[in-house]
Amino acid sequence: MNLSLHKKISLQPDTPSKLEGAKFDSQDQKTMLKGSEEARSSRILKWFRGRYSPGYNLAITICGIIIAEAMAMAVVYFYRSLPYYQQVILDATVMSVIILPLLYLLSSRPLLQHIQQRAQTENILQARLRLIQFAQTHTLQELLRATLDEIELLTGSTIGYFHFLESDQRTLWLRAWSTNAIQNMYALTSEDSQYDVSQSGVWADCVRERRPVVRNDYAFLKHRKGQPEEHASVIREMAVPIQRDGKIVAILGLGNKPQNFTKNDMDLVSTLADFAWDVVRDKHAREALRESEEKFRTLVNWTYDWEIWLDPQGNIIYNSPSCERITGYSPEEILNAPELITRMILPDDRLCYEEHQQLMHDETAGMEKQEYRITARDGTERWVEHICRPLFAEDQHYLGRRVSNRDISERKQAERDIHERNQKEKLLTQTIHTMQLDIARDLHDTLGQNLSFLRMKLEHLAGKTIRKQAELQFELQSMSRAANESYDLMRGTLAILQSVNSTDLYRLFIRYAEQIEERAGFKIRFSSRGEPRPLAAPRLRQIFYIFREILSNIEKHANASQVTLEMRWDTHQLQLLVHDNGQGFDMHQIQFGGHYGLKFLRERAELLNGSFEINSTIGSGTQIMVQVPYEQS
């Protein structure tokens, strides 16, 4: 039904809002209405039978004969001088003249009227039944047209129309024309047209006068407003108002009956119009209810979240289809086994949920929210956001709780991703800051000292006259070593910053060793054993700094001709073994706390949770072993 129809129909009693809580069953409605009509028909027929029964007709006939015979005997008495046969003829004539009209007026005519009225009543009842049956399977518009067609058929009219009147008693809505009017008349006003009663023609006099109006001389009415040129001429017209609770709610009109409309026609139309409005009102109410239920069903069944209505005892009254999308279980499965909901919840979250269920019996509990994990039918773990609030009827009667369950697994995963990203960013920031401090310290400790040394030497040479070539050469060589050391530091730092994995560490060590060989007086033999493991850039940098410091100490103090370097990738740690054939030193005379190079090496190793060991003998060289554990995943 068109939604605009709801706005145009004014139904005073039993409006759809009062019927929303009811459920109509078409078969039950049909049976109820049919029983009501049969009861009404029975009352009408009983009234006719009581008034025009055979006993009543017999009594009228006997009384008529007695009266006629008395009057005939009185006439014959005045003509008693006539011959007997003439007196008999006179008596029969007088009786016939008196008794026949009397019997017709008092017996036959009422009987014929009774038969006619009974036939009309049967026609009305059959029309009502047909309309009731028709209303079950057709729209309101079709029902209105069928009502007009039925009344046209019973009255012999050729035009029929149905108007609804708004509650303001001023606005009329044309709702339907009869089938015959649509097929045979031209320039008809379109259905759903609106009129103002004060501006309408004589056909609206039934509203203004609040009674049925019959005009068998429509063409000669002086105050009629005329018709369009293409409009079929109207000869006769009858308009019947339909009233409810003192207000006119509709107009049913007929026109162009071949004979004049009679009072019997007016009574028939009034009766059928009144009944038709009841059917129309019921049809409208049921269609409004069906649309309301359809809207509710569409709204609830197509919600994305899993909606549940629980009664005060915790029983499920309604369970939306979205539960299958979230849990994998159909609504029927959960309705048949409500304990599935609790069983799906992970044990760690189940106790909290069970405590939350106690709110079902507390009418004063407001909106509550919690999150828990469930195991869906396919075995996947999902996060559910559970929100519930109390439900109350219009009379504030507690109806239970409405539950909205939302799948927030994606949101939880996004939160975990954001947390991990934040942790990584925090770690990266810390790593970058640590790297900056390490680089600054290295530049200050090595590059800064070398540049200061070069500057001091240059200032010394600039302010001193050196006459000996050997002295000048010595100063230049020391300055060259400082410059080379600074250059190697810069290249090594850039290389370690550009390194990606532990494989780069091996190549970095080789390149740096080759740079040292170019200026030092010893050869370096380098080897690697085992499969390289992944190491983070900060860890690679610290290991490189240890390696660089070891070679720097050998270059400055060992006076060696051969250095052996070996990297061992063991199961749990990386070992760096260094051996030189230099002059060595006495381990008892060297203390880590007083020797800044060895102290630096040990601190670097401990920073990596590793160890640093050194063993040296005078004249036999030095052995160093650095052990660094791999990072935990």
- The whole-number mean pLDDT for each consecutive block of 10 residues of the chain, a chain of 633 residues, reads 34 34 39 49 53 65 78 81 83 78 67 69 79 83 88 89 89 88 72 80 87 85 62 81 91 91 88 86 85 83 89 90 93 92 92 84 86 94 93 90 93 92 86 71 62 68 66 72 69 59 71 79 89 80 84 86 93 93 84 63 88 91 93 66
Give the full edge-to-edge strand order of the sheet including 237-244: 194-196, 171-177, 159-165, 247-255, 237-244, 213-215
Superfamily designation of domain 502-633: Histidine kinase-like ATPase, C-terminal domain (3.30.565.10)
14 CB neighbour count, 10 Å cutoff: 15
Tell me what pLDDT residue 8 has. 35
498: exposed, middle or buried (C-beta count within 10 Å: 0-12, 13-18, 19+)? exposed
Residue 301: the pLDDT is 82
Closest CA to 322 of 341, 338, 302: 302
Neighbours of 258 (CB within 10 A): 9
What's residue 66's pLDDT?
81
In the prediction, which pLDDT does 28 show?
A: 45
What pLDDT, on the 0 to 100 scale, is given for residue 363? 82
Q: How, if at all, do strands 523-529 and 398-407 pair? A: unpaired
| CATH level 2 (architecture), domain 1-8+141-289 | 2-Layer Sandwich (3.30)
Domain limits of the chain?
Answer: 1-8+141-289, 303-407, 408-498, 502-633
The answer to whether 565 touches 509, Cβ cutoff 8 Å, is yes
Tell me the three state secondary structure of residue 404: strand
Q: Helix, strand or coil for residue 363?
A: coil
Predicted pLDDT of residue 27: 45
Tell me whether domains 1-8+141-289 and 303-407 share a fold: yes
Kindly tell me the burial class for residue 468, based on how many C-beta atoms sit within 10 Å of its own C-beta (0-12, 13-18, 19 or more): exposed
Q: How far apart are CA 620 and CA 550, in angstroms?
A: 17
Quick count: other Cβ atoms within 10 Å of Cβ 1?
14
CA distances from 569 to 210, 299, 529, 533 (A): 109, 65, 6, 7
pTM of the model: 0.45
Q: Which residues pair with residue 248 across a beta bridge?
A: 243
Query: Strand, coil or helix: what is 257?
Result: coil
CB 213 within 8 Å of CB 239: yes
Q: Is 85 exposed, middle or buried (0-12, 13-18, 19+ CB in 10 A)?
A: exposed
For residue 440, the surrounding DSSP H or E stretch is helix 409-442
Do residues 612 and 626 lie in contact, with contact meaning Cβ atoms separated by under 8 Å? Answer: yes
Q: What's the pLDDT at 348?
A: 92
**φ, ψ (nearest 5 deg) of residue 629:** -70, 155
CATH topology of domain 303-407: Beta-Lactamase (3.30.450)
Which one-letter amino acid corresponds to residue 1? M
At 54 the pLDDT is 64
From the number of C-beta atoms within 10 Å of its C-beta (0-12, 13-18, 19+), residue 120 rates as: middle
> First and final CA of the chain: distance in angstroms?
68
**Hey, how many other C-beta atoms are within 10 angstroms of the C-beta on 27?**
9
Taking phi over 0 as left and psi of -120 to 50 as alpha, with beta for the rest, 83 belongs to beta
Which of helix, strand or coil describes residue 244?
strand
